[in-house]
Chain A
Amino acid sequence: MKPISRSFLAKKNTSLGAGQLVKNQETFAYRLFLIPLILVLVSVTLYPLLYNVYISLTDLQLTKPYRGIPFVGLENYAKLFSSSHFYATLTNTLLMVVGSVALQFLLGLALALLLNRSLRGFGVVRTLLLLPMVVTPTVAALTWSLMYNPSHGVLRYFLSVLGLQSPQWLSDPSLALFSIILVDVWEWTPFTMLLILSELHSVPADVYEAAQIDGASGLQILTKITIPLIKPLIGVVLLIRTMDTFKVFEKIYVLTGGGPGAATETLMFSAYRQAFGLFKMGYAASISLILLVIVLSLNALMLKATQTK
């Protein structure tokens, strides 16, 4: 073994010194391994985020380059909070999130409870159910826009078979947001279902057997045993789906473009339209930050709620 010359190591006996050296080398390697991640995260997340905060305090408009980047302080936010359009987009966003997440969750739970038994051929069913979430979202939206087509869409045909009149799915302002929610429910219900199902599988069968012997009804078993047991997972599912639904974009872009009027314009779409349709970067940045704050605080709230229970 090589003699160790550095004084702080030389005081200890040699084998301990070598062990310390290995430990130092390991710590060094562990830190080194993190450097690429930190570099990328700083440049593609942290820096853009801080830059975005700065932009939101300016009235940067790319259509007026001669004006430079005028600093306006909190003016964008003041403008936002006094604009009725902002509150309309906020309402649309909340309606979409609540409607879509509730439907995905209830449908997913119902399907998971139905499928929670050993069925032959379920492996194939599960694989097929993955398809809506892995299919390219713009393609999914395009498909639904063809199915919604009021003159030759297949939904019109299905309804006519049932003897029903087909509504104007996308051009009726009172229905357009629901039509977008329906596509989101189609895409993400399999996700909630498969997650709940995998949690149900982990509940031991004798729990149910014991309840049945004690004479519990199906509904009692569901509300008193199953739901409480999978509660933590339900929290996580709702959290993930809520965060993601705030960020729905492709469906609105392809299906309605925010219309008719502003009936399907959400905060996410509004920020996009202000930035890349009207090139009002400062105003758009402030909308996008409000969206971020809403998502993050809901995130924290729900996380806390699921952890305390």
Chain B
Amino acid sequence: MLSKKIRKLLSTTVIWLFIIFALFFFLFPIYWIIQMAFKTNVDISAFPPKFLFAPTMDNFAYVFSGVQPYTRYLLNSILVSLGVTIFTLIISALAGYSLSRHQTKATRGLIFSILISRALPAVTIAIPMYLTFRNIGLLGTRTAIILAHLSFILPMSVWITKSFFDHIPIEIEEAAKVDGADIWYTFFRIALPLARPGLISAGILSMIFSWNEFLFSLVLSNSNTRTMSVAVASFAGSVSLDWGRMCAAAVITITPMIIFTFLMQRYLVRGLLGGAVKG
């Protein structure tokens, strides 16, 4: 009896050691960039690295001081991801409902093309988009970035909302129809409220994917409409040694994503994994 208990304790300990090691591997880089944002450049370039140091807010103060237009980049990221999310939610609520409730040969073709579009490399779309937007004068605008983001976020979101509508029992809607409700009432007053978790999942994912997107935002923006994701990457090629400021900008970029993850983890897991599996 006792030996069984000890064995169980031992195996639990070993498992936890592995988990701790894995957590260290996956989380250390995130901890590392965050702590760097609070270091001076001297502390950052110290070797061996300083694990204990006097934190400074100077890097963040610089980022928000307006010497370089970070606040504008931040605003661009917010406007683009909000725009993408609003368009995505409206379009995918309508389309997801239709695809879930009314399947014909033509709509099955549409579902197939949604699945295919997941395989599209961004660069395949970015080349013609760049040329088209240049011709019609949209190059370098946030509208161009929003449209480009829709090309990969919309199919994903339609897929998630469709699968949520699939899980709402159709009997509820049929009962309403027997009572005389028309399609508009059924959709707006019955199906849509029931699918709210799905819409929240799709919305959060749209926002995260748009915020994090890089290639489209890089080639379709200019120095005024650049998003944070692009601003952070532009440090990479530069010879500047302003690591602290760079890390502060990076930390500002990921903070909303981290907050989202903790607040919305239930929806996020369902969207990230559920939306992926049902493919």
Show the binding face of A for B, using Cβ within 8 Å.
22, 25-27, 29-31, 33-34, 36-38, 40-41, 43-45, 47-49, 51-52, 55, 60, 111, 114-115, 117, 119, 125-147, 151-152, 154, 156-157, 160, 186, 189-191, 194-195, 198, 233, 236, 239-240, 243, 246-247, 249-250, 253-255, 257, 268, 271-272, 275-276, 281, 284-285, 288-289, 291-292, 295-296, 299
Contacts and interface: CB of A to CB of B under 8 A. Distances in A.
Q: Which of B91, B123, B246, B262 has most chain A Cβ within 10 Å? A: B123
A191 B48 contact: no
B273 interface: yes
Contacts of B118: 243
Q: Which of B94, B99, B102, B124 has most chain A Cβ within 10 Å? A: B124
A139 B269 CA distance: 22
B19 A292 contact: no
B219 interface: yes
A145 B110 contact: no
A48 B125 contact: yes
Contacts of A128: 23, 26-27
Contacts of A141: 233, 236
Contact of B30 (A132, A138, A152): A132
B200 interface: no
A41 B102 contact: no
Contacts of B258: 131, 134-135
Interface in B119-172: 119-132, 147-148, 150-151, 154-155, 158
B234 to A, nearest CB: 9
A16 B121 CA distance: 51
Contacts of B261: 127, 130-131, 134
A292 B119 contact: yes
Given A36-B90, A138-B232, A130 B214 contact: no
Contacts of B130: 275-276
Interface of B is mostly: helix
14 contacts: A29-B184, A33-B98, A37-B110, A43-B147, A49-B125, A117-B15, A132-B30, A134-B261, A139-B253, A250-B214, A253-B214, A271-B123, A271-B124, A271-B127
B182 A25 contact: yes
Given A34-B99, A136-B232, A152-B44, 11 more contacts: A33-B98, A36-B95, A37-B94, A51-B131, A138-B212, A141-B236, A142-B236, A143-B29, A191-B273, A249-B123, A284-B123
B221 to A, nearest CB: 12
A229 to B, nearest CB: 15
A146 B44 CA distance: 10
A51 B128 contact: yes
B268 A134 contact: yes
A146 B254 contact: no
A154 B120 contact: no
B182 A22 contact: yes
A51 B151 CA distance: 15
Contacts of B277: 195, 233, 236
Q: Which of A48, A126, A137 has most chain B Cβ within 10 Å? A: A48
A183 B102 CA distance: 43
A111 B48 CA distance: 31
B128 A139 contact: no
Nearest to A133: B272
A175 B177 CA distance: 65
Given A44-B151, A134-B257, A190 B110 contact: no
A255 B27 CA distance: 19
B30 A249 contact: no
Closest 9 CB pairs of A and B: A37-B95, A33-B98, A51-B128, A30-B102, A33-B94, A44-B151, A48-B128, A138-B233, A143-B33
A243 B121 CA distance: 9
